[in-house]
Amino acid sequence: MGSEFILPRTASSNDPLRLAVLISGGGSGLLSLLEHQSASSCAHRTVLVLSDRENAGGLQHGRDSGVKTLSIPLMDITDSLAQRTTHEEEIHRQLIECEIELVVLSGYMRILTPWFVGHWKGRLVNIHPSLLPDFPGAHAHRDVLSAGAKVTGCTVHLVDEGVDSGPILAQQSIPVKPNDDETSLQERVKEVEHSLYPKIIDMLSTGEISL
Ligand code: GAR
């Protein structure tokens, strides 16, 4: 049986929650969160940006904001479980060193091991570009289009030991247009994600979400 979800403490703008944002790509979601944090007196702030890819475009957003920004690529280890665990141990070490209270996955494209999830359960949140439980995995837009779905959306959820399967905190639907391709769909979904995710992180930080 998996461990229980332990939500973050209730924070305030005077004593904001310390966030790490994990990315793998362009980081438009990270940028929207950083902009939200600098525009409003919210109860969280990003103190660490981490990427598993050294060339992730989003790393620049972290640096531009003066936030500690690191890339931690996979180590050269043949055994795949040992490789994943060693990688996550290093990420975990950085999170502890920075006294992180909430880990925000924002386009982080790796599946986390039960070991890592077990340490952060309830304080590990993800955004996925579909209406879960439909279309989990790494190719949500492609799968939505090939299934001929008329509606898609995005989902904010707590991460559990499964793939895109933890408790859902919020969802917003978005129509699929007849001439949509993966790029156009991704752009429209991201636009919605950029307002939904900061809003739900606000609520998590101020104790407005319970399980
Ligand atoms: C976002 O649409 C996010 O929902 C998705 O990757 C994109 C990242 O964009 N995440 C996943 O697919 C996770 N399985 P960004 O790098 O521009 O923020």
Q: Whose CA is nearest to atom 15 of ligand 1?
A: 27
Residues involved in catalysis: 128
Ligand 1 pocket, residue 28 CB under 6 Å: yes
pLDDT of 138-174, one tens digit each? 999 999 999 999 999 999 999 999 999 999 999 999 9
Atom of ligand 1 at shortest distance to CA of 108? 13
190 Cβ below 6 A of ligand 1:
yes
Which amino acid residue places its CA nearest to atom 3 of ligand 1? 107
- How distant is the alpha carbon of residue 47 from its chain centre? 15
Q: What are the φ and ψ backbone dihedral angles of 48, each rounded to 5 degrees?
A: -150, 130
Q: Give the atom of ligand 1 at the shortest distance from the alpha carbon of 30.
A: 18
Q: Where does 73-173 have alpha helices with state H?
A: 80-97, 114-120, 140-147
Token pair for 89:
């141990």
Residue 1 has pLDDT above 60, yes or no: no
Residues 106 and 197: beta-carbon distance below 8 Å: yes
Distance CA 38, CA 98 (A): 20
- pLDDT at site 2: 59
Nearest CA to ligand 1 atom 14: 138
Instruction: Identify the DSSP state of 170.
Output: E
Please work out whether the CB of residue 29 comes within 6 Å of at least one atom of ligand 1: yes
Which domains can be identified in the chain, with CATH numbers?
A: 17-205 (3.40.50.170)
Give the confidence band of 210 by pLDDT, cuts at 50, 70, 90.
confident
- For residue 209, give every residue at least 6 positions away whose Cβ sits within 8 Å of its Cβ, in sequence order, or none: 7, 169, 200, 203
Whole-number Å distance, alpha carbon 164 to ligand 1 midpoint, is: 13
Judging by DSSP bridges, how do beta strands 102-105 and 68-71 pair with one another?
unpaired
- Whether the bond between 73 and the residue before it is cis, its omega within 30 degrees of 0, is no
Helices 182-205 and 140-147 cross at an angle (nearest 10°) of 120
> Can you tell me the distance from the alpha carbon of 178 to that of 181, in angstroms, rounded to the nearest whole number?
9
DSSP calls for 78-102: SSHHHHHHHHHHHHHHHHHHTT-SE
Q: What is the pLDDT of residue 205?
A: 98
* pLDDT on residue 3: 73
- State mean pLDDT over 111-115: 96
Residue 52 has pLDDT above 60, yes or no: yes
